[in-house]
Chains A and B, each alone.
Chain A
Amino acid sequence: MADSVQLRINGRMIAVPGGTVLAAAIAAAGVTQFRRSVSGQPRTPVCGMGVCMECRVTINGQAQRRSCQTLCEPGMEVQTDE
């Protein structure tokens, strides 16, 4: 495993081991809602493979990015629907 990577999730700095997928970092940060569904239900990743789109979050201001297909990078700013 590479060195740890620091990123900000919902305003809070966290550190994860290099090679961690963003969805995992968000879960490890204790976030219980990645996305709010159109009827207001909390949703978290399901397929883990970039298909179901339940893991979508905003990365560096870019909305609708699939966190399960994105590796954590130093300084990333991540916002979920929480």
Chain B
Amino acid sequence: MNSRAHEFEIVIVGAGPAGLAAACAAAENGKRVAVLDDTPWLGGQIWRGEQAQPAQPGAQKWIERFRRSGATLIDQTSVIASPRPGVLTAEHPSGGREIRFQKLILATGARELLLPFPGWMLPGVVAAGGLQVLAKHGWPVAGKKVVVAGTGPLLLAVADGLKKYGAHVVSTAEQAPLARVAGFGLKLLLAHPGKILQGLGIKSRLLGVPQRFGVWPVRAEGDRQVRSVTLTDGQKTWTEDCDLLACGFNLVPNVELPLALSCELCDGFVRVDKWQATSVENIYCAGEPTGIGGVDCALAEGRIAGLAAAGRKDEARQLFAGRARWHRFRAAMAETFALRPEVKTLAADDTIFCRCEDATFGRVKQFSNWRDAKLQTRCGMGACQGRTCGAAARVVLGFGMESVRPPVLPARILSLLTISSDSTTIAETKITGTNQTL
């Protein structure tokens, strides 16, 4: 594909479960649909590796259905700006692209919440789901001692996955207390028996691996490489040797693009109505950006968004009851894996808080809001544009979320130049601040 503009009736950003479900719904109803994704593969992060090595029937079903739907896939393409309504500016390794839409569905997914603690920047300390997806794509974990820590329903699945790839899982440490997780399991059993069977399968495969609840990491140690992690249950602390520490504190939504498009948020998530429509006309949002609900919730929301955008509201309405069930599941998950206050106070003054700019916690905490902290310490000003430390600052320091300025992701000047050659995009992209330096 070259850099000339591409035009579609419905454009979807993100090829994860929500995006695929939306694309199928819209394309099967005769709309000209395109799905844009950062990566070279289908299925988003949760179904990563399914294309190369099919393992989950649910994922396979949707990937096949998408291939038959007639929707266009524009992969390895990151959206960097929306210079004017109905237009997205995007970057592919080969150059810039301009994509025009009548309706847009944002299915940008979620990322892991990474909380800083002493030693968290050591090589070998990896996000929990992050290590799982890397292992699926060939990251060497066989024979490595791994401690899996943090919180969320993903932790045990990660431990299970790593074991499958030959890792020696030393232990798992879930910060939520056992009673709360057990209560969640009971609710699941009543409402979604399928989920509990999945969970029991994982449990049985993890027999022999100590699974601790109400336990969290306090520091990682090693010289150029993590060698051990110190854990606590609030009473006693102990140290476990490891070659890898897989640590994630559940998920946070990717709301940068919705914010850049002026979509309103509510409690940190994109506000949508019953049709999954955002506060901005012709822009819809589905899946994790509207609330961390998991694969089935994302599929339900994506399908409703796709149908609504395609003008099939009667069909969409029939899916409301199903979505409501998953929204109850979503609320129960948020309650179960709520962070205990102790994990918000792990960073020491000399702990690196912003990994891009190496700003320490001691410096960042001197400021009362994100904007001042950014201006004075450069935290959040580096390549990840505050996706990592900004999310941590909201949890640890209670900072609010600031507006997002284009480019939404670091982009090459060349990409912007390619696009500007046949339009006025570059002048209108309003590149400001230091974000342009990459």
On whether the two chains bind one another, the answer is: yes
Interface residues, chain A, CB within 8 Å of chain B? 1, 16-17, 19-21, 23-25, 27-28, 32-33, 37-39, 41-54, 56, 62, 64-65, 68-71
**B410 CB–A CB distance under 8 Å:** yes
User: Interface on chain A toward B: helix, strand, loop, or mixed SS?
Assistant: loop
Tell me the minimal C-beta distance from A70 to chain B in angstroms: 7
Most B CB within 10 A of own CB, among A17, A45, A47: A47
CB proximity of B7 to chain A, nearest CB, Å: 26
Listed A/B pairs (16) with beta-carbon separation below 8 Å: A1-B53, A23-B139, A28-B140, A32-B123, A33-B123, A37-B355, A41-B121, A41-B352, A47-B127, A48-B131, A48-B139, A49-B111, A49-B133, A52-B384, A62-B93, A64-B383
Q: How many A-B residue pairs have CB under 8 A?
A: 119
**Which chain B residues have a beta carbon within 8 Å of chain A's beta carbons?**
38-41, 45, 52-53, 76, 93, 111-112, 114, 121, 123-127, 129-134, 137-140, 224-225, 254, 352, 355-358, 382-384, 387-388, 410, 412, 438
Least Cβ–Cβ distance between B65 and chain A, in angstroms = 22
Contact assessment for B358 and A53 in the assembled complex, using a CB-CB cutoff below 8 Å? no
The answer to whether residues A27 and B127 also contact, given A37-B358, A53-B356, A62-B93 and a CB cut-off of 8 A, is no
- Asked if A41 contacts B358 (CB within 8 A), the reply is yes
Q: Kindly state the separation between the CA atoms of A70 and B387 in the bound complex, as whole angstroms.
A: 20
Interchain CA distance A66-B121 in the complex, whole Å? 18
Q: Evaluate whether A44 and B40 lie within 8 angstroms (CB atoms) in the complex, with A24-B134, A68-B134 already known.
A: no
A62 to chain B, nearest CB (A): 7
Measured between alpha carbons, how far is A23 from B131 in the docked complex, in Å?
11
Shortest C-beta distance, A81 to chain B (Å), equals: 12
Tell me which residues across on chain B come within 8 A of A17, comparing CB atoms: 138
**What would 13 more interface pairs be, CB under 8 Å, given A1-B52, A46-B130, A47-B127?**
A21-B139, A23-B137, A33-B123, A38-B356, A47-B114, A47-B388, A48-B126, A52-B388, A53-B356, A53-B384, A53-B410, A54-B355, A69-B76
Task: Tell me which residues across on chain B come within 8 A of A25, comparing CB atoms.
Answer: 138
